[in-house]
Structures are given as structure tokens and as C-alpha cells.
């Protein structure tokens, strides 16, 4: 199981404070803890905007890669921040998070992805909008995989397809739709990885950790082989170890 450690994310209050105060020691320690807990990649998400996001991303990349031997997940929608991160990224091959079939995002990210030689998180979203109905995820995911291979030159094993996890609280049948999409993607190309921001499934609900673990079990059975999670959560890490 490919674990992308999610904790260095500027949308979290303590991380936002550490980034603003340039508390490199705290963030470096958190990167090391995630590596020790079993993370395969360390996510780097500044959670800021504009020019500040560019500067924050560069600084975060330098801090985290000085503390861990693990590759990074460069997690920002800001193309300029991705470019800046790649300029200072000197460790193992990172993941760029993310690209989709939305026209503006595809046109912005394709030149970066094509020339970077990186792995890519590919969101199953198109100009049709967020997937809500049966088949929506497949309609976006399958051509996105093909175009990343044909136009960006990516090998399938460098593509991490994200079937877009939306809360079960807003759509009761979403787990079945997600698992169906996972199976369809792997039937289309079994070398593609499947990843997700796992905790999105339980947003707005009680007992979130339990719901996350139940969903993880179903998603792994469908073929998911990667997840963006908190590797310091010993219960979910134990479940992953038990299943694989």
C-alpha cells in the first residue's frame, strides 16, 4: 500500500501557524514522524494563495526534503507554485497533485506534467463537473488516463487515479459508485495506481475514523493501492497491514 502522509497541510491550524512563523523544526519533525510511521510519500500543501503560496511551497519543500528521504507529494492547484517546487525538489521522484480533464486545468498542467518526469495524481473530474451519477467517474477517468499516457508521455504506473471521494452524508450510494469506478479503471489499465483523500468519505459525520476504516476496506477490495491518510493513526495503519 502506497501511503501519502497528509499531515503537512496549511489548512490545518497548527500547520498554518508553523508555515507563517517559518517553524522549520516543527514541520521537519512531523515529516520524520510520518516517514517512521510508514509513509511512502510526504504531502506538502501550503494552504495559502497567490505569490505567498509560491514562496510557502518552495520553503516547505526545502524543509521537508531536508528531514526525510521519502519523495514528496506537491499538493497545490497553483501551477506557479508547482514549478517553483520542482526547481528546488532534489529528492526522489515526487508526485504532482493534481491534474484533471477540466479544460483550464488540463491546459495549465499538461506542459508541467509533460516535462517534469514525475508521478501525477489524476482527478476523475471533467468539464461536466463533479461526479454524482453512476458512470460519471469512469467517463472522466478513462480518457484522462489515456491522455496522460498519449499526450504527457506518462507510463501508467506513474498515474495515481483519484476517483474523487465525496461524503457519504450527501450521497448514500457513493461508496458503491466509487468502488465501481476503481474496478473500471483497473480493467481499462491494471498498471494505474488508485489513490484518494480517504477521510473525505466521512466529512460531516460522527465516528469518522471508524467510517474511514470501513471505506478503506471496501476500496482496497475494489483495487485501491494508495491512500492519502494520517500515518500516525495507528488503527488505520494496522488495518492496512492486516489487509495486505
Rounded mean pLDDT, 193-200:
95
Please tell me whether residues 132 and 44 are part of one structural domain. no
**Domain end among 67, 84, 114:** 67
For the segment 71-127, what is each residue's pLDDT rounded down to a tens digit?
999 999 999 999 999 999 998 999 999 999 999 999 999 999 998 899 999 999 999
If one counts the domains in the chain, the total is 2
Please tell me whether residues 55 and 110 are part of one structural domain. no
Please tell me whether residues 107 and 205 are part of one structural domain. yes
Rounded Cα gap, residues 45 and 153, in angstroms: 26
Query: In which element (H, E) is residue 137 found?
Result: helix 136-150
pLDDT number for residue 218: 96
Please tell me whether residues 55 and 111 are part of one structural domain. no
Cβ atoms of residues 4 and 72 within 8 Å: no
pLDDT number for residue 244: 77
Which residues are paired to 45 by β-bridges?
9
Q: Which residues of 26-41 are buried (b: 16+ CB within 10 A; e: fewer)?
A: bbbebbbbbbebebbb
Rounded Cα gap, residues 236 and 84, in angstroms: 34
In a domain, 59, yes or no: yes
Locate 20 and state its grid cell.
507563517
pLDDT number for residue 50: 85
pLDDT number for residue 117: 92
Please tell me whether residues 14 and 109 are part of one structural domain. no
- Summary mean pLDDT of the chain: 96
Please tell me whether residues 102 and 203 are part of one structural domain. yes
Please tell me whether residues 226 and 111 are part of one structural domain. yes
Please tell me whether residues 237 and 120 are part of one structural domain. yes
In a domain, 174, yes or no: yes
Beta pairing class for 119-123 and 226-229: unpaired
In a domain, 75, yes or no: no
Asked whether residue 37 carries a pLDDT value surpassing 90, the answer given is yes
User: Does residue 235 sit in helix, strand or coil?
Assistant: helix
Work out the end-to-end distance of the chain between its first and last CA atoms, rounded to an integer number of angstroms. Answer: 7
Locate 243 and state its grid cell.
489487509
Asked whether residue 165 carries a pLDDT value surpassing 80, the answer given is yes
In a domain, 167, yes or no: yes
Strand order in the sheet with 159-162: 193-194, 159-162, 119-123, 95-99, 72-75, 41-44, 2-5, 226-229
What is the reported pTM?
Answer: 0.96
Please tell me whether residues 118 and 229 are part of one structural domain. yes
Which residues are paired to 40 by β-bridges?
none
Query: In which element (H, E) is residue 105 found?
Result: helix 103-116
In a domain, 80, yes or no: no
In a domain, 1, yes or no: yes
CATH at residue 157: 3.20.20.20
User: Does residue 244 sit in helix, strand or coil?
Assistant: coil
**Domain end among 52, 67, 82:** 67
Rounded Cα gap, residues 27 and 19, in angstroms: 8
Please tell me whether residues 147 and 234 are part of one structural domain. yes
pLDDT number for residue 115: 84
For the segment 177-194, what is each residue's pLDDT rounded down to a tens digit?
999 999 999 999 999 999
Please tell me whether residues 158 and 52 are part of one structural domain. no
Of the two residues 58 and 115, the one the predictor is more confident about is 58
Domain that holds residue 30: 1-67
Please tell me whether residues 115 and 195 are part of one structural domain. yes
Amino acid at each position: 500500500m502506497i501511503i501519502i502522509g497528509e499531515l503537512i497541510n496549511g489548512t490545518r491550524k497548527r500547520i498554518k501557524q508553523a508555515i507563517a512563523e517559518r517553524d522549520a523544526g516543527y514541520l521537519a519533525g512531523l515529516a520524520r514522524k510520518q516517514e517512521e510511521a510508514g509513509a511512502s510519500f510526504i504531502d506538502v500543501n501550503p494552504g495559502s494563495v497567490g505569490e505567498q503560496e509560491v514562496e510557502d511551497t518552495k520553503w516547505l519543500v526545502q524543509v521537508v526534503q531536508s528531514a526525510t528521504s521519502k519523495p514528496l507529494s506537491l499538493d497545490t492547484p497553483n501551477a506557479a507554485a508547482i514549478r517553483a517546487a520542482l526547481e528546488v525538489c532534489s529528492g526522489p521522484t515526487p508526485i504532482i497533485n493534481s491534474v484533471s480533464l477540466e479544460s483550464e486545468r488540463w491546459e495549465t498542467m499538461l506542459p508541467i506534467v509533460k516535462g517534469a518526469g514525475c508521478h501525477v495524481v489524476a482527478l476523475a473530474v471533467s468539464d461536466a463537473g463533479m461526479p454524482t451519477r453512476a458512470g460519471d467517474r469512469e467517463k472522466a477517468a478513462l480518457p484522462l488516463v489515456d491522455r496522460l499516457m498519449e499526450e504527457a508521455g506518462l507510463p501508467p504506473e506513474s498515474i495515481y487515479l483519484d476517483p474523487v471521494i465525496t461524503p457519504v452524508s450527501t450521497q448514500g450510494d457513493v461508496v458503491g459508485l466509487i468502488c465501481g469506478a476503481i474496478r473500471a479503471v483497473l480493467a481499462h489499465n491494471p498498471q494505474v495506481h488508485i489513490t484518494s483523500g480517504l477521510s473525505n468519505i466521512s466529512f460531516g459525520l460522527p465516528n469518522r475514523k471508524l467510517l474511514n476504516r470501513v471505506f478503506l476496506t471496501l476500496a482496497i477490495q475494489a483495487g485501491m493501492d494508495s491512500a492519502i491518510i494520517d500515518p500516525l493513526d495507528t488503527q488505520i495503519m494496522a488495518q492496512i497491514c492486516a489487509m495486505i
